[in-house]
Structures are given as C-alpha cells and as structure tokens.
Amino acid sequence: MSTEKIPSRLAWAIVAFGWSIEPAMSTSMDIKAVFRPDSSKPADNKFINQTPSSGYCASYPSECKNLNMFSIRLPLRFESIRPILPDAEPRSNAMFKVPAQWRSLPVKNEETGELEQVEVRIAGMGSQYKLSETTVSLTGASNWLEGHQTLWGSSWVYSPPPCEYSGVGSYDPWNYAFFWKTPVEGVCVKSTRYPIPAMTYNYVDFAYELRTPNPLEMSSGLYTGTLSYRVGPGGDFDMGDVMLPDDNLITLNFALTVEHTLKVDIPPGGNQVELVPPGGWQAWLTQGRKPTRLFRDQTFNISSSSRFKMQLECEIPGLFDCMIRDPVSQRAAVVQLSVSLPSGLTDTSGQPVKRRPLHVGHTNAQEFKPGFYLDRAPGILHFEIAPYYVNYMIKPGEASRYSGNITVIWDSDVG
C-alpha cells in the first residue's frame, strides 16, 4: 500500500496511520483511568488514561499526547445502499458528522454512591474507504493516486472543513485510509466527481478527549458510568443517507479508579510527650516560681492526596478534650490539643490550618483537604495545659506525676 504526503512546509502537523489489520473489537468499549499520587510529581493531580490506544494513536502516540487525545478502532462497517453520484446533495455523498462537542456523564463510586461528572468529546475520526472498482477504472486516470485525486477533486489526505487534515494518506487501487481531526462539530463532505457503484468504510477509528473531576476532592474507590452514541442517519455518528452502519450504537463504559495516600510519620520517640514550662522546670525547682503554662509542640510528617478528618480518643475523657491524672491525689487536668498543618492543606472553606483545636469523638472531628498532593510535609501537634489547671496541678512541697494516653486519629473516611 502506497502513501501520499502533504507538502513539507506543513510537516509540523503531519500525522499518519498504521494500516495493519487488528483484531475485531466490540462496539462496546471500556475506557479506564486511574489517579495514583506520585511523590516524584506532587503537583500532577490528574487521572492517567489506562485504555490502550488502537488505530491512529497507537501508530502516532506523540501526536495524540500533544493534544491530550486517545484513539480507539472499532469493527464498525458502513456500506453504501445505492450508487454515489456526482452533484448529489451532501447527505447522498461522502459526509461525516461526529459528536465533537463536550458531553457530560455521571460516574458513581461503587462503594459510597458518590457522584462525579466526566466529560468526553470526539476529537477526530478516520477509516478506510473501499471502492467497488479501481480508481483507474472509475476515472480513466493513469495511476492509482491520480485516480483517487481525480475521483474526489483532491485525495482524502486533505479534509473538507470544518474537519482538519491528517497529514498522510495510504492507498492502493481500491482503498484509501485517512484520519481527520474534528476541532468543532459540523458536517464534513467529500463530493465525488464520477459515479461510484458501491463503497464501504471498513472500520471506524475515533479519537477522544477526556475531562475528569479533581481526584483530590474524590473519595477512594472505583467510579463507573456509561455513555452511548447513536450511529446512522440523524445520529451522533452520521455518515449521511447512503453509507449505513452494521450497528446503530457505540457504548463507552467508563471506569475511574482513585487510589489515595494518607500517611503520617512521627519522629522516633514522638509518641512520648512531656509537657514542660517555657524554659523548663529550673525556675520552679530553684526559685519556687510556679509556671503558668505547660506545653509541648510535636512535629510530624504527612503525605496526603485526599480529604481526611482528625479527632481524639482518650484514656481519660473530658467533655471535649482529653485529661491526664495524678494517681496519688486523683487530681486531673485538661490537655488542650491543636494542630497546624503544612501549606497546601486547608479546612473545608479553604482557610489555612494554624493551631486548629482537636476534640474527642467522631461528631467533633475536623475535616481538612489538600490543594495538591503533599509528600512528607511537616505539621505540628500542639499540646498545652491552661494556666487554671497548671495552678491546680502544682502544689509547693507536694510531688505529683500526671499521665494519660491521648490518641490522635487521622481518618480518610470522610463519608
């Protein structure tokens, strides 16, 4: 099979097709994408298309990558039901209309039932036409290429507007393979200049673009949804009234997988928190100056790509906060605990998190969300005892030791 190329001055836009025969595929096609945070690209918060390309983008992946485009080849055939004649109106010639505008469909989390929206558009379409006779027989041309060019006025390497050309066409005496981009929705028509007794489109290649939700605002899990296109006269894929398909529906089954990361690392020894006065205990021990504040700031590192909640569990619970107790005197004191989160993590209203109080129980949990994926970003837990309790705890000449377990929970289940 020979090829026809556009002039070299247009080489920057050259795209082409591989014309090898591929196994037949159903007109129902699975489209898969996944979000999995990458510590080497923390700012890249997008779904990655996992659907293997076939047809156009399989042969020329770099061209599709530049346009964020993917393609699928379907074994959908179109055959003429009557001869195609010169000067016929567009619907009786070789016409193409595809759904190039964005269409929205809901995808549902199979576990939580949450709904999100995905958008898709058809960004290009191609096929291979097959004539009932050679182009030389139909036109009297001296060779195959001249026959294809003479038959239509120009060969199918050049697309009619509003479609855009592909750059390279592949041909033999009966066949011409092509691919056209569809930047806008409209009717693209090639009009024959000689009678064509019969013609077939051997398959359908189409390129598609996706707009996916922000995965940082989605829960982990599998989101699924379906979008169907009608094929045939008056349908979404409309090839006119002469070229009719052997199937009237294309169904795309979408599956978006979200795999979030939420990990917290505490430095060695960080789970043993000792509350001390500013500057330590020396002023109390040597000068008898009672401290007014006991505190400790404990650092941690957080990796997060998802919303999460924080709450407390206590060995000795108070009303909203945890307490510590002296086992001898049985006196207890409230420990106020707050958190400061790194830049990029905010509350649900988008406000920075600085010394945000944490409380006991699920109903009092604080919810936070990332603006981008954070990898081992530093945060701080602030432990503090208010002056009222410090005065109550410390008695001259009376030794005491207050203790208690406080559990800080980072919970990615925000449903």
Residue 53 sits in the same domain as residue 84: yes
- List Cα–Cα distances, 356 to 70, 276, 351, in angstroms: 45, 21, 11
Q: Are residues 237 and 294 in the same domain?
A: no
User: Amino acid identity, residue 408?
Assistant: V
Please report, as a single letter, which amino acid is at residue 382.
H
Last residue of a domain, one of 258, 287, 314: 258
Residue 161, strand partner residues: none
Domain end position, chosen among 199, 231, 258: 258
Domain identity same for 277 and 351: yes
Alpha-helix runs per DSSP H in 268-404: 282-287, 387-393
Do 188 and 296 lie in one domain? The reply is: no
68, 124 Cβ separation under 8 angstroms: no
Residue 246 has pLDDT above 50, yes or no: yes
* Residue 1 confidence (pLDDT): 66
Choose one of 209, 227, 258: the last residue of a domain. Answer: 258
Residue 227 vs residues 185, 205, 240, 312: alpha-carbon distances, Å = 18, 17, 23, 44
In whole angstroms, give the CA distance from residue 145 to residue 157: 11
Q: What is the mean pLDDT of residues 43-70?
A: 80
Structure confidence by residue, pLDDT tens digits, 335-348: 999 999 999 999 99
Helix or strand or coil: residue 89? Answer: coil
Cα→Cα distances 215→36, 44, 307, Å = 9, 11, 10
Please state which of the ranges 47-51, 282-286, 399-403 shows the lowest mean pLDDT. 282-286
Whether residue 248 sits in one domain with residue 276: no
| The model's pTM | 0.76
Give the type of residue at 67.
L
- Write the CB contacts of 15 (distance below 8 Å, at least 6 apart in sequence): 56, 60, 63, 166, 167, 168, 179
Looking at the structure, do residues 209 and 307 belong to the same domain, yes or no?
no
Structural domain count of the chain: 2
Per-residue pLDDT of 166-222, as tens digits, reads: 666 789 999 998 989 999 999 999 999 999 999 999 999 998 889 999 998 898 999
> Do both 217 and 326 map to the same domain?
no
Residue 396 belongs to what domain range? Answer: 262-411
| Concatenated DSSP letters of 138-183 | HH--SSHHHHHHHHHSS-TTSPPTTSB--BEEEE-SSEEEEEEE-S
Q: Around 398, how many Cα atoms within 13 Å sit in the side-chain half-sphere?
A: 13
Same domain, 91 and 232: yes
Whether residue 238 sits in one domain with residue 269: no
Residue 228 has pLDDT above 60, yes or no: yes
Provide the CATH number for the domain around residue 353: 2.60.40
Query: What distance in Å separates the CA atoms of residue 291 and residue 101, rounded to the nearest whole number?
Result: 69
Residue 299 shares a structural domain with residue 374 = yes
Q: Are residues 205 and 268 in the same domain?
A: no
- What is residue 341's DSSP assignment? -
Average pLDDT on 309-328 reads: 94
- Domain identity same for 174 and 314: no
